[in-house]
Amino acid sequence: MRSYMILIFGSINVDLIVPVLNLPQPGETVLGGDYALLPGGKGANQALAARRAGSEVVLAGAVGPDSFAGIALELLRRGGVDTHLVRVVERPTGCAAIVVSQAGENAIAVAPGANTSVRSDQVPDESFDANTILLAQMEVPVRETETLMGRVRARGGRCLLNLAPALPIDLRLLSAIDLLVANEGEVTKTGLDPPQLARRLRQGLVVTRGAAGAIAFLADGSRIEVPALPIEAVDTTGAGDTFVGVLAAALDLGSNLKSALRGRAQLQVSPASGAALRLRCRIGRRSMPR
């Protein structure tokens, strides 16, 4: 079995999307336009973004024995993402219900389903080596992610964690993480300020700030500030995933962090641009840059 340059350990969902004029308030019902069923999930989104940015990518995850599985995986396979480490389990494929306003804001509720059955032991040691970047998120069991990170680190690989959604994390894990990517709210949930958090990581922390761009706080105390590109946001669903996937690909393809943030990653998608940097159309994975 070959090793891969980017190994993504994460969630696979189908997104049920309803466009509305304005997001509903608590207790309010609003009428929307035609719904759409589209592939999603942070792990799957980041896998496709990294592949479209030029890296060899394998995705490890889980889907159910249902029709949603085909919707979730078809675009990945067509896009060149290796899915042989995706298991079929006796749980429904994950599903996210997404309401999107005309202003491009969204509200999301996720039913994890099969994602709760993802296990680190479905990834054999032969799938990674010292040249591998492990990219993970917080939508599969955290203990399984921690275990896989330890195995990848033991073989000299790099670990990148997207701290989304904002769930509790064992701070002892930070020393095994090369790069942590989070938005400002997710950083707050750690109980540490950005410079403190960065000092506990192997390389540093990238904080995405929407229209304000991004800041990388490095473990040595320095920082890199990156402005957002001046692009009208159509819808921001999937923007963070696209940013993370393209960033991982830039690092995999030889860029240092400064170049990755200021060059390739910013060119492909800025945190303020939404996933639709090139395509002002459907949200999520179908609107990623190609």
Give the active site residues: 241
Residue-by-residue DSSP string for 57-114: EEEEEEE-SSHHHHHHHHHHHHTT-EEEEEEE-SSPPEEEEEEEETTS-EEEEEE-GG
Alpha helix (H) residue ranges in the chain: 42-52, 67-78, 142-154, 184-188, 194-199, 239-252, 257-259, 265-268
Sign of CA dihedral 75, 140, 169, 171: negative
* CB atoms inside a 10 Å sphere around CB 193: 11
Q: Are 176 and 153 in contact (CB under 8 A)?
A: yes
CA distance 290 to 285: 11
Classify each residue of 247-279 as buried b or exposed e, where b means 16 or more C-beta atoms within 10 Å of its C-beta: bbbbbbeebebeebbbebbbebbbbbbbbbbee
Sign of CA dihedral 258, 261, 263, 264: positive
Instruction: Tell the burial category of 29 from Cβ atoms under 10 Å away from its Cβ (0-12, 13-18, 19+).
Output: exposed
